[in-house]
Structure 1
Amino acid sequence: MNSARPDDGSARPVELFPGDNATDATFRELDWSATELGPVDQWPYELVTAVRTVMPSTIPMLIWWGPHLVQIFNHAYTNFLGAKFPEAAGQRASDCWSEMWDYVGGLCAQVVDGREPVHGVRQMFVMERYGYLEETYWTFSYSPIFGPNRTVLGVFVATTEVTMQVLGERRMHALLRLGSLDMGDGTGPPGIARAAVEVLGSEPREFPLVAAYLREDLAENGRLTRIATSGDTGCEASTWEYADVVRVVDGSVPCEVTEVVGNVPRAVVTPLTMAGRIEPVGALLIGVNGHRVVDDSIVSFCGVVAERVSTALTASQAFEMERRRVVALAEADTAKTRLLETVGHEFRTPLTLLAGPLDSVRESSSSQLSEPDRQSLDVVHRAAVRLRRLVDDLLDVVSADAGRLEARLEPTDLTAVTRDCATLFAAVASDSGLELVVDTPENVVVLTDGEMWSKIVFNLVANAVKYTPSGRVSVRLNAESDTVRLVVADTGLGIPADELSLIFDRFHRVEHADARSIEGFGIGLALVSDLLTALNGRIDVESEVAVGSTFTVVVPRVPVEAAAPVERSATPTDSVSAIFSAHESTTATSGRADILLVEDNVDMRDYLVRLLTVEGWTVATAGDIEIALDLARSTPPGIVLTDVMLPGRSGLDLVDDIRRDTDLRRVPVILLTARAGTDFVLDGLGRGADDYIVKPFQDRELVARVRVHLELSRMREQILVESGNQASTLRAALDTRGTIGRALGILMSVYRIDSDAAFTQLTELSQNSNRKTRDLASMIIDDFTAGLSNNGRPPS
């Protein structure tokens, strides 16, 4: 393969290898005469030219020269040789690369024999550079070096190692797949562990062995269980040594490089963690490729893999908890729906039995009844109608929740239904000083559900009247080509901007102190929205506080040709009066009243007035706290009987105001409410109330308790008048009145006796026990309060 030089000049080592690096120095000092290439000054021109091209380059280059392919390489290539340098300098290629010469030698033969270059991209070579067989990847080009007559004198090699790029892409692919694990497959953390092992096991060159361990039930200090394994361990799983895994899981070491029986010489064990848990919940064992050294980069990468799996475990656990919560909520919602349906239907049966006989008595005996009896029957009738309406609305809401609210389409005269529903409120509007405007065109007959439409109109008009203290409520119906539009507008209190998006939510109520009533479930507008959904319609609202609100309903207009309208009854007239309560006060006497009654429900107020006046007491009434305070301050009453739930501020606030007022602080206050329970009782008494009566109550009990407190109040006032030392007597009177009064009320409630019997019993107990009446009363109160606090029931 030698050729003649074109000139007589000779090359010297110092000229061919002039660099100050270790590679050039090695080649300069090499005894070339002992190699197959011979002295440098005898090298052929083609070799000298190739060396002069390769050595200065910063790109890794290699020359294989002569029949035995003696190698010469530049300093950039030396980094690829590892421990093979410096022996590789001037060495035969087959000796230097003996571990892979079967393949590389074949490539060289193709270049020499075929006189054509060959190349490879990301070609894997297993080479021994650091004392072990290493998996490496290369992109290279082998080109022939020609002499005279195109004789191939050597092979020029340009190469780049891409091992780290290949490994990096492979690892990144595994991490990306770990990040896309399905958290919602319902298998929880064990399922995630199995899926992670499967993902890592699909890259056997990178992960020849993978095993995941989790604590049983993920409990701390729980038994460790192998969840999944991937790869050929070369032995049965039962022969594995778990000591290193346990050490990592129990926190003894952060990670461990362990020996594993089988084909995989080493593995890295890293802990698996979950958010909210201090101790690891498991461990991930990752076998290391036998052609890879276990260094810091391997351990670090295994830690990243474990962190990614830990993140998936945490997400899976959170998803599973959320799934269980959703299932539990769905089950609770289903149970709630069944309960409401059952309760609603069960209410209808006694309501039917109540309303039927009641109507018969009212019709047949109206002329024979006294005025108080007739008024009582009217109150019961209105209450029954209101309860029936609330039950019907509740059942409609339940049907909407269950997806069973379906429209029964039939020809319906929307004009008649709208006018009938709206004019039901004429009397209430007139009594309240409101202008009610009803504007409807004639003969708007469409295919729709008339009953649903009547409920929509009724609820919207009722809502407008309820929240319009003064001004006007207008109801307008417009028939357009494809739609029917209903507009209910008022000049009322308006809706705050932050609550506009909530008004169609179930049980949401806009609290207004000036509303005509605070009663109701807060489902009226929600029901309207559900009904319009069933009718394929919609509702919009515009509102401004202190200006008014406008509700606009739009439903499709489905014309019915030559169809007679269907007669439908609107909501009964009595139900309109049943849903409103006036707030104005009335005073029964011109002088001081025995009782100031504070109650916003008209029927309940009238009922209590009749009940109390029969006993000979004078009663003044008020519908809210402000009016009650004005009446009490102008003429202090003997006692205040107040409901807790009132428009605006509650009855508890009234107690606070009375106790802070120096002129009213001695007035006894009895709370009347439907809210039962120990907490409510203790809260009311703690604020200074003298007694607490829970609805429903018996007439005898309420009268007896009122009598006790009235008599105690009169006794106290008499003592104050007769006393010369009003301040000290006032303190004693207040203390005695509060203590003895409460004790008498407790005895009356527990034993179902009247005030006289309670006085007698308290006196007898005092005499028999030789205790002062006041001390005995304190003991009765303490025992009663302790019994309520312990089990919610008074002591027997």
Structure 2
Amino acid sequence: MMRAESPSMSSGVTSSSPRADPSSVDATSRPAPDTALAQGVSPPRDLPGRVMGVEGFVLIERTGNVLAFNTQATLHFGIPAPTRLEHGRLPGCEWVRADGTPLPPHETPLERAFAGEPVDATVWEVLRPDGTRAFLRGTAVPVQGGDGQVAAVLLRTHGVEAPPGAVLEASRLLAEAGALLGESVDAESQLELLLKLLVPTLGDGALLILKPPGEPVRVVASLHADEGRHGLLRELLQRYPPDPSMPGGLPEVFVSGAVGRLCIMSEEHVAAIAQDTEHARLMREVGPHGCLSVPLGARGSILGALMLLRSNVLHAFDAEEERFLSELAHRTALYLENARLLREAREAVRQRDEFLGIASHELKTPLTPLSLKVQLLQKQVVVLAREGKPVPTERVAETLDVVQRQVRRLSRLVDNLLDVSRITAGRLRLELEELDLASVAAEILYRFAPAAAQHGTELELDAPVPVVGRWDRLRLEQVVTNLVSNALKYGAGHPVVLSVEGQGPLARLTVRDHGIGIEPQDLARIFERFERAVSDRHYGGLGLGLYITRQIVEAFGGKVGATSVPGQGSTFLLELPRGDIPEEWLIAHAAPGPTSD
């Protein structure tokens, strides 16, 4: 720490009162600050740092008795007024250098003043008992007793803002961080470079932990100033990743977004969170650190935490450092959120382009035979008309049948697109009425019978009793149609079995095929928009049928899922609440139980 000597002072300041033995000075004769000025104590010089508040005033005898300790001094040093000092130390306080290391006892302002040296400093840094750091501007002046020796020390302090250099340093780091984060849209590639701005400038180590909503905790960047500990830190995080379910394992920042402080990772803390002896060993070898963790908050959500580690526990994180780190974390969170939004926008554009390509192909598929048949019929009609011959009825009927099939196919595609639009806009309406799910399933199978016969597929229905509930007929038929259509498409000519049963307030529909099946990693996504488990080149479709099915089922308050074994087929299970129907329907139309012989 830099110190400046008072150029106008000699070995001490002589009191204007008669010389007396230091022991004769008692608390009743404590001089007020104005009295001290009258005794010849000059005020502090105009030093850098804006003065904040009134003056702190402390008068201490050589023996350690505290003769004066005003209210402002208690605020400056963060301690109540003591009655006595031991070895010239203020209770719980440490005088520290700019790098956070404590001053040796003989270099502290009080000890230097007791040694007869007038002490004047630009800025004193004091580590308070609560771990915060105070910047004080003041003087420590020796007061001579009657024997010519130092009888007491007068300490006068003013609180000042953080030195201008510290503000400039924070502004520079924020500017460098902004430039770094603006270099690339690849968010995570820049995060370790970001930590290099903090280490070793503000701490010995740093971690950046992400926990987006619905995703597990990930340490995306870590750094330690010591190369050996850097490797240990990486090993520790790789072998024992942060676990949010473990008490004490993660800071409160992930739960409430509050700033977290840990003065030192003590042996008790290690023992509390270590998963095993190896985990404890790695934590000890990384070293005891104090920790400051701030939330990565953006747009009302907590994305993770930025954690700064410091091995010098005497140099606690102060309020200015907390503000700086919080601002840096906020900017980082915005950068990560913007990068996520950009990725999602790019993915949406990719999906849109892919969908438009598939949709155009699917819409053209029925349009092509439709156009050819109409053109052919038109030519035949023109030729026959010229020859004066009648148009064969069977030829017109055949063409119209093809036209009708292709129009129905086009209508289904357009209806699907409209349904997606309604679902997205929240305009999917349901008109409820009492229906029998078993009857609906039988009717849908009847409609699919000709198509199933063409593919050599047998359709079976297992519905021993009616299963009545309150549903929307059109939407319920749409759900069953989509599931049966899906089973026929991927069933590879094998039997498709439907079963319907009631289980109290629930109705269950099962559609089972024996086709190609679905890979395990694809089961979760087949109910999403524009998703398929197979190539559209071989099976076609917009990838909307199962998505629409799930949305309708969830609108009914039910759920739909699938199980599958690749190569052996798939089973889709639909469960629907039966709604507000008479209780006797639940009993009278329940599935028959086992009979006894």
Q: Which has the higher helix share?
A: 1
**Higher relative contact order, structure no. (Cα contacts within 8 Å, ≥ 6 residues apart):** 2
Structure 1 or 2, whichever has the larger Rg, is 1
TM-score norm. by structure 2 comes to 0.45
TM-score norm. by structure 1 comes to 0.34
